[in-house]
Structure formats: structure tokens, C-alpha cells
């Protein structure tokens, strides 16, 4: 996993107060996958949240992080290809 992608994942971990295992984080390639991992971690601690709300917040964080328009970030957005993260 490249540094920028790792920093984005750390920002999401901080936002949701979770810890994503490194081996799982290395396999995340899209915003949708990141949402799914966050949802799994939240359920582990019985901190359920609506998937759409989680996706919206992750998309907002990713857009700010990558300096792109929030409207261009969704579940299908690829971290490296679409956001240019390394």
C-alpha cells in the first residue's frame, strides 16, 4: 500500500474510531470496499451506522484528501485510478 492510500485509510479510521487490520487495508482498492470494511469494523463493536451515511462521510474525506469535487467520489471510485492516490 502506498503512502497516500495509507494516509486516507488512517484518516477514515480516525473519523470512525476504528482500526482496520493492515492485511485488510492493503486489499482496499475502492471507496465502496473501504465503506464495507468500515461497516464490518463498526458492527464488531456494535456501533451500527447506515451504509449510505458511512459512504457519504468516507466520500467527503476522500474528496478533501485528493482535492477533487465531492460529487465525483462514490462507491465505484478507485483510490489510485480515479483519485490519483499512490
> Is the per-residue pLDDT at 86 higher than 90?
no
Question: What band does 2 get if pLDDT is binned at 50, 70 and 90?
Answer: confident
Domain map of the chain by residue range?
3-69
Residues 39-49 pLDDT 10s: 999 999 898 88
**DSSP per residue over 28-57, as a string?**
--BHHHHHHHHHHHHHHTT----HHHHHHH
Q: Measured between alpha carbons, how far is residue 80 from residues 34, 65, 85 in Å?
A: 13, 13, 5
The pTM (predicted TM-score) of the whole model is 0.93
> Is the per-residue pLDDT at 63 higher than 90?
yes
Residues 28-41 pLDDT 10s: 999 999 999 999 99
Per the CB < 8 A criterion, the answer to whether 2 and 59 are in contact is no
Residue 49 CB neighbour total at 10 angstroms: 13
Mean predicted confidence (pLDDT) in 10-21? 96
Amino acid at each position: 500500500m502506498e503512502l497516500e492510500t495509507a494516509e486516507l485509510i488512517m484518516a477514515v479510521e480516525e473519523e470512525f474510531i476504528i482500526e482496520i487490520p493492515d492485511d485488510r487495508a492493503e486489499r482496499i482498492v475502492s471507496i465502496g470496499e473501504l465503506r464495507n470494511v468500515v461497516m464490518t469494523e463498526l458492527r464488531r463493536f456494535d456501533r451500527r451506522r447506515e451504509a449510505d451515511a458511512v459512504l457519504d462521510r468516507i466520500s467527503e474525506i476522500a474528496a478533501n484528501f485528493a482535492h477533487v469535487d465531492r460529487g465525483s467520489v462514490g462507491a465505484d471510485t478507485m483510490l489510485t485510478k480515479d483519485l490519483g492516490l499512490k
